[in-house]
């Protein structure tokens, strides 16, 4: 009503969130252009070889805001001989954003240390800290790691948005057939749910998506993490503190005495933590945790290598969810092309082509040609590729026979397990990602 009084006539148009983002990105200066004015002003006023504190404040604020806007997971500030390189990790891939004169380096590092409550007078040992930053009404948690190098201190800031723990398993890329397996597992009152994969593959985010389903008023949930990545109401969260002898193992022992129904252990790193986690599951708790293994079947031999008794494994493991993250094709510049199978075999391994073709003479494949919206990379955002292995009675018998991971995988596939290769192939055919990206991330 107010607009009508002021303007006489108001026309209403509809635009999707993606359309709005695309238009905004076309007006946004590049990060190099934004920094150019700051650097020029500083160079005009500086008579010494150090960056001013006010310049450092501006630069760090702009780095964090642009890192958040570009959906960077990490901001790297790397000293070189005569300059400082700023790189963002976007969709899992490093991208150089800016090169600054070396005279800015010390003031940038000092500013970040102040924000993260680190010692500004200590330059010879690694330091870790955390800071919070408010952008567009969202509180951003940022983990800070500083290490000394031969050229100066190297700092990495990891951006942890609060919205990440609000994702569902479907949002993360889990297909319906695998989602049903996970739902069956979390309905069990006790046992273990394991998420497997390398660092940065989204394991913790997936476990938070499971916790989102489990987080009800009638259950008690506690976590022990290093560090706590997302703060969630209704869950007791404990952070590992090695300086105070609060480890995964000691924290887990304390949690068990807190009468929880559900326990999440950030990572099973050693035999002691594995033993306590398995025994917690055996005594009536639903335990969620992560393992660093390449696929789902390999998680079983990994636990055996840690000294966990086979009987305890078969008595507790409900399901193993292995995963990786694939970059998604940018929807603003996606193109499709019909590719004859014989032509594809000139460029790609035969097993991939045969999988995608499934007996057909040609396949429609997709790629992003690159645009301003995606930084001319052809990709925007990421999705998970999953491998969900249920541990049924027959598999338990195989585990008790101490068969290798290959035998476990053969059994699981014969009984309906979709491998990460299967899942990635389906995502290629549906236009979510490219063959090259699948080959980069998934063992084919």
What does the alpha-carbon distance between residue 192 and residue 389 come to, in Å, rounded to a whole number? 12
What does the alpha-carbon distance between residue 419 and residue 424 come to, in Å, rounded to a whole number? 9
Is 4 contained in some domain? Answer: no
5 sits in which H/E element: helix 2-7
CATH at 357:
3.40.50.300
Cβ(193)–Cβ(181) below 8 Å: no
Segments forming the whole domain that contains residue 415: 167-441
Query: Angle between the 203-214 and 176-186 helix axes, to the nearest 10 degrees?
Result: 60
pLDDT at residue 167, rounded to an integer:
85
Cβ(362)–Cβ(57) below 8 Å: no
Q: What is the per-residue pLDDT across 337-381, written as a single tens digit (0 to 9) for each?
A: 999 999 999 999 999 999 999 989 999 999 999 998 888 999 999
Q: What is the per-residue pLDDT across 382-398, written as a single tens digit (0 to 9) for each?
A: 999 999 999 999 999 99
Indicate if 274 and 314 belong to the same structural domain. Answer: yes
Is 26 contained in some domain? Answer: no
Whether pLDDT at 228 is above 80: yes
Name the token pair of 418: 């979709």
Helices assigned H by DSSP within 120-194: 176-186
Indicate if 267 and 138 belong to the same structural domain. Answer: no
Q: What is the per-residue pLDDT across 107-131, written as a single tens digit (0 to 9) for each?
A: 999 999 999 999 999 999 999 998 9
Indicate if 94 and 201 belong to the same structural domain. Answer: no
* 50 Cβ contact partners less than 8 Å away, ≥ 6 residues apart: 103, 106, 107
Q: What is the per-residue pLDDT across 198-221, written as a single tens digit (0 to 9) for each?
A: 988 999 999 999 999 999 999 999
What does the alpha-carbon distance between residue 382 and residue 379 come to, in Å, rounded to a whole number? 8
End position of a domain, from candidates 110, 135, 161: 161
What does the alpha-carbon distance between residue 77 and residue 73 come to, in Å, rounded to a whole number? 14
Whether pLDDT at 437 is above 60: yes
Indicate if 117 and 263 belong to the same structural domain. Answer: no
362-368 vs 334-340, strand pairing mode: antiparallel
Is 243 contained in some domain? Answer: yes
Is 48 contained in some domain? Answer: yes
Residues linked to residue 133 through DSSP beta bridges, in sequence order? 140
Indicate if 147 and 173 belong to the same structural domain. Answer: no
Indicate if 352 and 260 belong to the same structural domain. Answer: yes
CATH at 153:
3.30.450.90
Indicate if 186 and 281 belong to the same structural domain. Answer: yes
Indicate if 341 and 314 belong to the same structural domain. Answer: yes
Whether pLDDT at 161 is above 80: no
What does the alpha-carbon distance between residue 227 and residue 130 come to, in Å, rounded to a whole number? 10
Beta strands, E only, 248-378:
262-265, 286-291, 317-329, 334-340, 362-368
Is 225 contained in some domain? Answer: yes
262-265 vs 221-225, strand pairing mode: parallel
Residues linked to residue 83 through DSSP beta bridges, in sequence order? 101
Indicate if 153 and 205 belong to the same structural domain. Answer: no
* 421 Cβ contact partners less than 8 Å away, ≥ 6 residues apart: 355, 442, 443, 444
72-79 vs 152-161, strand pairing mode: antiparallel
What does the alpha-carbon distance between residue 101 and residue 83 come to, in Å, rounded to a whole number? 5
pLDDT at residue 303, rounded to an integer:
97
What does the alpha-carbon distance between residue 104 and residue 349 come to, in Å, rounded to a whole number? 48
Taking the model in full, what pTM does it have? 0.84
What does the alpha-carbon distance between residue 324 and residue 296 come to, in Å, rounded to a whole number? 11
What does the alpha-carbon distance between residue 318 and residue 303 come to, in Å, rounded to a whole number? 14
Mean pLDDT on 16-23: 56
End position of a domain, from candidates 99, 128, 161: 161
Indicate if 178 and 130 belong to the same structural domain. Answer: no
Indicate if 102 and 49 belong to the same structural domain. Answer: yes
Cβ(208)–Cβ(217) below 8 Å: no
Indicate if 69 and 178 belong to the same structural domain. Answer: no
93-101 vs 83-90, strand pairing mode: antiparallel
| Residues found in the chain | 444
Mean pLDDT score of the chain: 89
User: 253: closest CA among 279, 229, 227?
Assistant: 279
Cβ(277)–Cβ(252) below 8 Å: yes
What does the alpha-carbon distance between residue 79 and residue 151 come to, in Å, rounded to a whole number? 6
Positive or negative: CA dihedral 184, 189, 191, 196? positive
pLDDT band at 45 (very low <50, low <70, confident <90, very high): low
User: 312: closest CA among 273, 349, 341, 275?
Assistant: 275
Q: How many domains does the chain have?
A: 2
Apex CA 251: angle with CA 317 and CA 126, to 5°?
Answer: 110
Rounded (10°) CA dihedral 302, 304, 309, 315:
40
Mean pLDDT on 22-28: 49
End position of a domain, from candidates 161, 180, 197: 161
Q: What is the per-residue pLDDT across 271-289, written as a single tens digit (0 to 9) for each?
A: 999 999 999 999 999 999 9
């Amino acid at each position: 009503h107010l607009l009508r009084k002021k303007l006489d006539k108001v026309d209403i148009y509809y635009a999707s969130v993606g359309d709005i983002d695309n238009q905004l990105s076309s007006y946004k200066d590049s990060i190099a252009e934004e920094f150019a004015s700051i650097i020029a002003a500083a160079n005009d006023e500086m008579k010494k070889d150090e960056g001013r504190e006010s310049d450092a404040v501006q630069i760090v604020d702009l780095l964090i805001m642009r890192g958040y806007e570009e959906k960077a997971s990490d901001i790297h500030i790397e000293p070189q001989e005569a300059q400082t390189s700023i790189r963002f990790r976007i969709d899992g891939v490093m991208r150089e954003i800016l090169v600054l004169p070396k005279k800015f380096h010390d003031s940038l590092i000092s500013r970040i240390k102040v924000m993260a409550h680190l010692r500004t007078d200590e330059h010879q040992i690694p330091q870790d800290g955390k800071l919070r930053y408010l952008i567009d009404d969202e509180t951003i948690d940022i983990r800070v790691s500083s290490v000394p190098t031969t050229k100066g201190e190297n700092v990495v800031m990891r951006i942890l948005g609060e919205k990440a723990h609000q994702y569902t398993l479907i949002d993360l890329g889990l297909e319906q057939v695998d989602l049903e397996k996970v739902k069956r597992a979390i309905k069990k009152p006790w046992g273990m749910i394991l998420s497997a994969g390398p660092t940065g593959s989204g394991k913790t985010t997936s476990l938070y998506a499971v916790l989102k389903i489990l987080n009800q008023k009638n259950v008690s949930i506690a976590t022990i993490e290093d560090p706590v990545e997302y703060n969630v109401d209704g869950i007791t969260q404990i952070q590992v503190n090695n300086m105070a002898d609060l480890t995964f193992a000691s924290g887990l022992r304390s949690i068990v005495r807190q009468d929880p129904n559900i326990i999440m252990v950030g990572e099973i790193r050693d035999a002691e933590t594995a033993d306590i986690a398995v025994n917690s599951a055996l005594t009536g708790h639903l335990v969620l945790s992560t393992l660093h293994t390449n696929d789902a079947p390999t998680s079983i031999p990994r636990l055996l290598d840690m000294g966990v008794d086979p009987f305890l494994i078969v008595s507790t493991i409900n399901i193993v969810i292995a995963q990786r993250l694939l970059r998604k094709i940018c929807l603003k510049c996606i193109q499709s092309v019909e590719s004859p199978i014989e032509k594809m075999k000139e460029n790609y391994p035969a097993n991939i082509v045969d999988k995608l073709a499934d007996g057909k003479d040609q396949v429609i494949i997709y790629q992003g040609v690159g645009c301003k919206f995606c930084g001319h990379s052809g990709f925007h955002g990421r999705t998970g590729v999953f491998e969900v292995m249920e541990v049924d009675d027959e598999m338990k018998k195989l585990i008790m026979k101490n068969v290798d991971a290959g035998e476990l995988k053969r059994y699981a596939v014969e009984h309906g397990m979709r491998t990460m290769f299967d899942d990635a192939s389906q995502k290629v055919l549906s236009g979510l990602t490219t063959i090259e990206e699948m080959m980069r991330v998934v063992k084919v």
